[in-house]
Structure 1
């Protein structure tokens, strides 16, 4: 009889010991029964062990699937760094199939792409550096550099993965890739049907599919010989998983590339501050088309002011299209001064405070500092702090009232629920069947709109005044991405509704994003990432008193641990969710080992840990 340690997939449990009269390879996927569970559970063999002193259950079935050493190695890192079980970490991988043999067919791809002198320099830089950041302005042609690099990797017989935020995986991108790589490329994301996913996996197993362009889960497919990872829009926060394990696919790509000596290209027009700080970069500013872009500002507190309405009307009269952007599809609420546009900042953390209406108070979610809502603005001493609300549905309705004869569509996650709907709306917009597209961050993602001459940006102050150290980076990055959708060829205008014109104008007109990142790094030193590590411990339970007691217990424990700092605690921004009361503790440390040891010591069924939180 042989004895094995197994981890149960998707389970937070520690490894369990089972027996089998067959000899099994490490990484084999098997089926076992667990007490109290009706159905058989999927498990993975991770270790041969000596016969234990206790009685073991049998391994009931050995499947044709297995996880290789690399998958187990990466999963071990994920479980340690992102604080989850090995079974939870392994469950994000798609295993290999023992019964299918890879095809070794040599195909020679020729993209016929001629790179410009600047693009060639960027391409050479990415070749030379092994792991590089392509910091490329909107319209400078980073996709051509990706394709040329992928072409070279595939021609050498290896595989590549191109990661993109899900909403950037557009029909346009699919067409561009299929033009060069034909049926050897596949698109992978959550809206792809199960049947199609099985077909793609069959292609990956046989090596017929050599390139996957996909959302973050594409990183965990069973490639034959992965040699290149490209992460487009690397600044995008959707690379961070919001369910367990709470990994960041961009950061994980960097870890995998360094550990297994792979090529990595991170690309963005608005590079993230962490990549800019840590990774060698090439700045590509030259754009393909000469575009003249005028940035206009409107400090009105009305959602659609007369200035904005007139601009939209004149653009439509010239038979051009308009996009209207809001930071979120739902009604967002934010507090700003009616006179100066500033929010109320925490005196200890340099971030905006959040409104707690029931307590009639403003509260900092970093340090817990609380104050009553001031009668006048602390910045200018004259204005009044107001609560504002606005959403995509309201804007769409208002525009339909103002322009009844025009075609106006919404482009957000409530409206675009399937891949087919996404394709149909984008095709209609590109064929001039839609005059105004009203949407959220989906609008900012790499869609190439031909006839858009006006981009209207509403509610950007809500992002700038968020209760987060990342608020300036998020707001400016978002504005640059949206501005990039207007006037892709020729002239374009962007009208920004803000009461913080000085900040946006300086970096949009007089300064470069690179300079912004340099100044932001100075602001964050000794306080925030990338210089320190931050983690959030979220406690949730249907009993509000019980969960608060649990948080209080851990505050006392964590405050005694050396080299970590409890920087904030209290109610979560969304205090009650799915009938559970939520409290959180924010931790930071310059000592990653001390922080991880502290996080691994938290043993509570109410706690969820988020390392490198997108706070």
Structure 2
């Protein structure tokens, strides 16, 4: 009954059924409908479900479709042959003429926010459109963002459509293949079941460091450690894409005592192949799944039972629905939980719950959580409602949804020039702050990742209870050529 609202529904509780029922109603009324999903959720499985409901009368829009296919969809869309678009965030910019309904599935997902200029958030933009036009917006998630939960009227959808029971097993060892994980995987494989294994890091190892002096081998263009790929013996920067042959000695002290740190999906997959030589184990991350075709092929093989386990990054957590998976293994989450970001707890718990949701969609499921922060997961992994209540109390009054943030970044090839431009901008913002008492300059200085793509980066973070002074501040910074990000989700 509300113009904008949130369905807070447990994984497997039937959110999609509500979406499809609403879509059907709006299509019958001759309206256009947009179903927004994180790009990786636009799988053959979702396409198949849409086909079952709506035949061929819909288009799928995302970055990996070919220009030819794009042209076909646009032509059908503009001639009103199709009125339903299922798409990633860019679908919001299609030339709608009779838009009546926008559904934002997995509304908490960070991929709705553009990392490049302009830093729009498709979810927030959908809500803004509802305030200006006769458009209804429904957000949906099993782990809604704190901001949406606090600001939107919501309906709580509990339980699962298929009978499902989950058992949580805690493994308090360091990130790696422990006896607990090996034992649970062996049990799944022996019973003809499948498993998903989550790890947030790609490559063999996150970085290489010197055992003598402790320095990390960094990208020459970005102030971050480079990921190590063993098979190709190369180092790759996950920020700018620079690659180089792996070094065998430290540039700083000349020592040859180089060690690899923080296991990645490549290394984990290799270790699992050694531990279970008969098992069919595949990698599922952005290094491996480079095209829509590969994505479809891998998921189809997994669904058909041709793969016993998928080892992957965040891609694993996205809405894939498999009834033969009885085990989800969650590794490497402590690092995410300890990230210096006010949303670290929300992000990590949502991710862990989404991965856990892949196990036991019907029947019994087991979830292994490898973490030294057991208490946090024990308290909340089965009770997101309790987490939201605690998190809202913790954030008041200085973090969203009680305040809004603005982050501006200046980049220059010269560190001195970047710093100079920053100081000029800070002085102007100080003048604005004198006029706008509610505006606060939280801080300014070097970015957490100081150099990226060969440029020095400095930032200013501002906070306010109202958006109006932040827009004034954003305009001052934009005129000076700063990268302006309202409601930022990335602070590095």
Question: TM-score band (shorter)?
Answer: 0.7 to 0.9
Partner of 2:38: 165
Q: Measure, in 2, the Cα distance between the counterparts of 1:500 and 1:163.
A: 34
CA shift, 1:390, in A, is: 2.3
- Give the Cα–Cα distance (whole angstroms) in 2 for the partners of residues 570 and 356 of structure 1: 18
Pairing of 1:153-302 with structure 2 (within 5 A): 153-302=26-175
User: For residue 477 of structure 2, what is the aligned residue in structure 1?
Assistant: 602
Cα distance in 2 for residues equivalent to 1:503 and 1:275? 22
2: distance between equivalents of 1:400 and 1:553? 56
| TM, length-normalised to structure 2 | 0.86
Q: Counterparts of 1:401-416 in structure 2 under 5 Å?
A: 401-416=274-289
Distance 1:580 1:455 in 2: 40
CA distance in 1, matches of 2:377, 2:398: 24
Distance 1:196 1:356, change over 3 A: closer
Equivalent residue for 2:417? 546
CA positional deviation for 1:604: 5.9
The Cα shift of 1:356 comes to 9.7
Q: TM-score, normalised by structure 1?
A: 0.69
TM-superposed deviation, 1:290: 1.3
1:465 aligns to 2:338 (yes or no) = yes
- Write out per-residue CA displacement over residues 25-74 of structure 1, whole angstroms, 9 at most, x where no aligned residue: xxxxxxxxxxxxxxxxxxxxxxxxxxxxxxxxxxxxxxxxxxxxxxxxxx
2:290 is paired with a residue whose SS is coil
**Matched position secondary structure for 2:55:** helix
Q: CA deviation at 1:398?
A: 1.3
Closer, same or farther in 2 for the Cα pair 1:418/1:170, shift >3 Å? Answer: same
Correspondence 1:248-397 to 2 at 5 A: 248-329=121-202, 331-332=205-206, 389-397=262-270
Q: Distance in 2 between matches of 1:222 and 1:603?
A: 28
Q: CA RMSD in A?
A: 1.7
Residue by residue, what CA displacement relative to the aligned partner does 1:207-248 show, whole Å, maximum 9, x if unpaired?
Answer: 001100000111111123110000000000100011111100
Secondary structure at 1:394 match in 2:
helix
Report the Cα offset of residue 591 of structure 1: 2.8
Compare relative contact order (CA 8 Å, sep 6+) and give the higher one, 1 or 2. 2
Choose 463-472 or 555-564, whichever is displaced more.
555-564
**Structure 1 residue 586 and structure 2 residue 461: aligned?**
yes
Counterparts of residues 462-501 of structure 1 (less than 5 Å):
462-501=335-374
**Aligned ranges 1:503-582 → 2 under 5 Å:** 503-509=376-382, 512-562=383-433, 563-582=438-457
User: Matched residues in 1 for 2:106 and 2:43: separation?
Assistant: 14
| 1:477 Cα deviation after fit | 0.7
Number of positions where the alignment pairs a residue of Structure 1 with one of Structure 2? 436
Cα distance in 1 between the residues matched to 2:473 and 2:112:
25
- Measure, in 1, the Cα distance between the counterparts of 2:261 and 2:127: 40
Report which of the two structures shows the higher radius of gyration computed on alpha carbons: 1
Work out the CA distance in 2 between the residues paired with 1:272 and 1:404. 41
Q: Which residue of 2 aligns with 1:21?
A: none
State the Cα distance separating 1:515 from its structure 2 match: 2.0
Q: Segments of 4+ in structure 1 off by > 6 A?
A: none
For residue 597 of structure 1, give the secondary structure of its aligned residue in structure 2. helix
Unaligned runs of 5+ in 2: 208-222, 226-259
**Retained in 2: the 8 A contact 1:277–1:530?**
yes
Q: Is the 8 A contact 1:454 1:487 kept in 2?
A: yes
Q: Any conservation in 1 of the 2:100–2:136 contact (CA below 8 Å)?
A: yes
